[in-house]
Structure 1
Amino acid sequence: MHRCKSTLHRIQGGFAFSTEGTDSMNEASGNRKRGFTSFRKVFRCFRVQSGFTLTELIIVLVFVGVALTSILLSFRTGLRTSVDSELLSLSAQLAEAKMEQIKSDKASFGYGYLTQQNYPPETDADGYSGYTRTVSITEYSGYKKVTVTVTHSGSPDVQLVTIFANY
């Protein structure tokens, strides 16, 4: 690190700078004497030695590249999770809508109406393409187990199960 202290000296008719780092040697006597320097030498002392080396630049670029990559990957994962939850939510809504229809049919037409033939499989359920909705009715003594399943290729299957009794 270059250190340079300068002082302003008044000489005849003007000013001159003297710097500690620019002592000159008197050749005849061998004694050091403080000399006056030009403005260029003085301003060299005050010049800011800033900037980046190529190594520092490469390190920063690698660091920024790694940081941006991890940030973009987290956005991609978040976006994928958001889409998956939207598909799953729609599947659940379609299953609930069908189960409500089955409950309404029991109330309107009676317990005997709840048979497999009255609820065939549906593709593009309620107008949503890619969604398949099936109803499975299993009879036991005194009750029926109704399972509504909604499938979509981009999300897990959703199943709702309800027990209906003949009351």
Structure 2
Amino acid sequence: MRATASARALARPSSCGRLQDVQLTVRSPVLAPGPGSGSACFPTRVLPTTEQLQVAQRFAVLPLALTPSETVGVASNIRTALLPLNGLRHRPENGTSGWYLWAGEQFSEDPDFFRPLHHEHLSDWCPAAMPYLALPPGWRFLVAPDYEDVWFDEMLLEID
């Protein structure tokens, strides 16, 4: 299956990953080898799914899919029926994707609130998050039945 996504956007600060006149064509899902593929400098990334490309296109951003070895921070309540589903993405570092996911309206500062989960298991844990996971760092989402809010939060890029 081949997916094509085009995006045209107003000029925005490059820190938010906005696109201008970019054409994306990928097969989904496949590994994307590159120069030095699999190295620390050029990790192998899974190309975004068609659904992830559509989300990136709607928000006019360049998708940044996860590497096979990256982890996502998930709250244990993610497997419950608690709503809404929340996600935010910091910059990837030290084997993490930068994504943190939780359910409900309460976000805990408890250091044990999030635990690492390899993204390959996330489709079993929280399939509703999958379409958003190629949004670049600095992006957030909040979804519930018949509701979606997706926005860029520059403060996420300033947190070390």
Is TM (by shorter chain) over 0.5? Answer: no
Task: Report TM bin, short chain.
Answer: under 0.3
- Identify which of structures 1 and 2 has the higher relative contact order when contacts are C-alpha pairs closer than 8 Å and 6+ apart: 2
**TM-score when scaled to structure 2?**
0.21
Structure 1 or 2: more helix by fraction: 1
Q: Which protein is bigger by CA-based radius of gyration?
A: 1
